[in-house]
Amino acid sequence: MAKTYSGGMRRRLDIAASLVVTPDLMFLDEPTTGLDPRSRAQVWDIVRALVAGGTTVILTTQYLDEADQLADRIAVIDHGRVIAEGTPGELKSSVGSGTLRVRVRLPERRADAERLLTGALGVPVRYESDQVALSARVSDGEPVAEALAGLNRAGIELTEFAPTPTETTTDTNGARVA
């Protein structure tokens, strides 16, 4: 019967089967690969709940935003060797930010936030696969502060804003990451 389920449902079923007894340690190997944005967000919520309940989760992923969202510590591995390691903040600050990522509280406000950020930052703002997330490449912190203040004045609530670790991976291993 499980073979008729969607990829997202099968992933959630795999995780649920692992949770019959609450584990102290759980290994998740690319748990969101191939999932639609809604299913991906649901798996992220499951991982967050596991961690909040005291489970240590070791997660492998090729999605940098996933590592940034879910990990307390990140190790960047290239050809089997750890080339960078630290908290998301440490990795980001080691090379400068470069990309602003925001998540709006209400999905219906994402288009408003995109228009406001594009105007304030003067650069293109990109829709992320997460239905409430936007990102933009930035080179100066001052317009970012003003853009965030503009979102606040417009009543657009954010659940998070941060630079992303994309530049960290690009700079530490020399590969271009999209």
The lowest-confidence range among 1-5, 40-44, 162-166 is 162-166
For 123-137, what is each residue's pLDDT tens digit?
Answer: 899 998 889 999 888
For 96-121, what is each residue's pLDDT tens digit?
Answer: 557 888 999 999 999 999 999 999 98
**From CA 30, how far away is CA 62, in angstroms rounded?**
7
Q: What is the dihedral of CA 51, 54, 58, 60, to 10 degrees?
A: -10
Of 155, 157, 117, whose CA–CA distance to 137 is shortest? 117
User: Which residues of the chain are in CATH 3.30.70.100 domains?
Assistant: 92-173
* pLDDT at 172 (0 to 100): 46
Of 156, 144, 148, 143, whose CA–CA distance to 108 is shortest? 156
pLDDT at 170 over 60: no
User: Which residues of the chain are in CATH 3.40.50.300 domains?
Assistant: 2-87
Query: Could you say which architecture CATH assigns to the domain 92-173?
Result: 2-Layer Sandwich (3.30)
Q: Is the separation of the CB atoms in 158 and 102 below 8 Å?
A: yes
* pLDDT at 94 (0 to 100): 58
**From CA 129, how far away is CA 173, in angstroms rounded?**
25
Superfamily of chain region 2-87: P-loop containing nucleotide triphosphate hydrolases (3.40.50.300)
In the block, tokens 């690319």 appear at 30
pTM surpassing 0.75?
A: no
* pLDDT at 113 (0 to 100): 95
* pLDDT at 178 (0 to 100): 34
